[in-house]
């Protein structure tokens, strides 16, 4: 779903400037346009500011134009495939987080993509482990595991999010058409994710001394 541009009166100054700068770079390729639009989804002046939904739909639009939603058809082990996969799953993650945080319908619906495909894995982002100037390799590895686990979580939440925030709320929406069994299945998937995440994210490394709570002498 490509969301239409908000009316001019709904653009605040910062958002309008961002839109102008985005439109000026007309020679940018689809993948870079999607990446820029995805970053702009994080800019919202107020909690009711819906321009981030516009930027998300723009990101998804350009990601599809660049073939990101078909990354699995690219040759294995190629840099292009890795870039497209990361872009598409970032769109999926942002879509689910915004749906949950702002109570908005999903823009990438469960029927729009084969969610049996694995999300981002440690192997997909391992080239960053030793390149960070902020985190040591051990911390970076933990962060990558968190991202991988987050991808699994948003897939498990697909049914719940569609139920809570249907595309067209009303008598014919999924809210009224969802059976008790579908609800149980959704919660069961969340329970399975939780058990898996607890097992995968056990951190054996000892915390640095600066983070250890000490009793007062």
Q: The whole model's pTM is what? A: 0.80
Q: What is the pLDDT of residues 9-24, one digit of tens each?
A: 555 555 666 777 777 7
Q: How far apart are CA 154 and CA 150, in angstroms?
A: 6
pLDDT attached to residue 5: 56
Band the pLDDT of 213: cuts 50, 70, 90: very low
In this structure, the dihedral spanned by the alpha carbons of residues 190, 191, 193 and 194, taken in order and rounded to 10 degrees, is: 120
Backbone phi and psi for residue 120, each to the nearest 5 degrees, phi listed first:
-65, 135
Q: What is the pLDDT of residues 69-118, one digit of tens each?
A: 999 998 777 888 999 999 999 999 999 999 999 899 999 999 999 999 99
Contact (Cβ atoms closer than 8 angstroms) between residue 89 and residue 120: yes
Mean pLDDT over residues 134-162, rounded? 92
SS3 string of the chain?
CCCCCCCHHHCCHHHHHHHHHHHHCCCCCHHHHHHHHHHHCCCCCCCCCCHHHHHHHHHHHHHHHCCHHHHHHCCCCCHHHHHHHHHHHHHHHHHHHHHHHHCCCCCCCHHHCCCCCCCCCHHHHHHHCCCCCCCCHHHHHHHHHHHHHHHHHHHHCHHHHHHHCCCCCCCCCHHHHCCHHHHHHHHHHHHHHHHHHHHHCCCCCCCCHHHCCCCCC
pLDDT at 1 over 60: no
User: What's the whole-number average pLDDT of the chain?
Assistant: 81
pLDDT at 174 over 50: no
Band the pLDDT of 201: cuts 50, 70, 90: confident
pLDDT attached to residue 39: 92
């Amino acid at each position: 779903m490509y969301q239409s541009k908000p009316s001019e009166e709904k653009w605040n100054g910062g958002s309008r400037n961002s839109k102008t700068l985005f439109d000026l770079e007309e020679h940018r390729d689809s993948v870079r346009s999607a990446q820029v639009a995805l970053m702009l989804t994080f800019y919202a002046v107020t909690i009711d500011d819906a321009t981030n939904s516009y930027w998300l739909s723009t990101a998804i639009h350009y990601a599809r134009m660049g073939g990101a939603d078909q990354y699995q058809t690219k040759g294995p082990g190629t840099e292009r495939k890795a870039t497209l996969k990361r872009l598409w799953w970032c769109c999926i993650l942002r879509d689910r987080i915004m749906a949950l945080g702002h109570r908005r319908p999903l823009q990438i619906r469960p029927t729009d993509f084969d969610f049996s495909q694995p999300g981002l894995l440690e192997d997909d982002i391992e080239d960053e482990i030793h390149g960070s100037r902020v985190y040591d390799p051990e911390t970076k590895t933990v962060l990558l595991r968190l991202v991988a686990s987050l991808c699994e979580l948003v897939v498990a939440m697909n049914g719940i999010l569609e139920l809570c925030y249907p595309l067209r709320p009303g008598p014919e929406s999924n809210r009224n058409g969802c059976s008790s069994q579908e609800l149980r299945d959704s919660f069961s998937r969340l329970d399975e994710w939780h058990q898996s995440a607890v097992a995968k994210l056990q951190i054996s490394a000892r915390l640095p001394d600066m983070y250890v709570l000490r009793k007062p002498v």
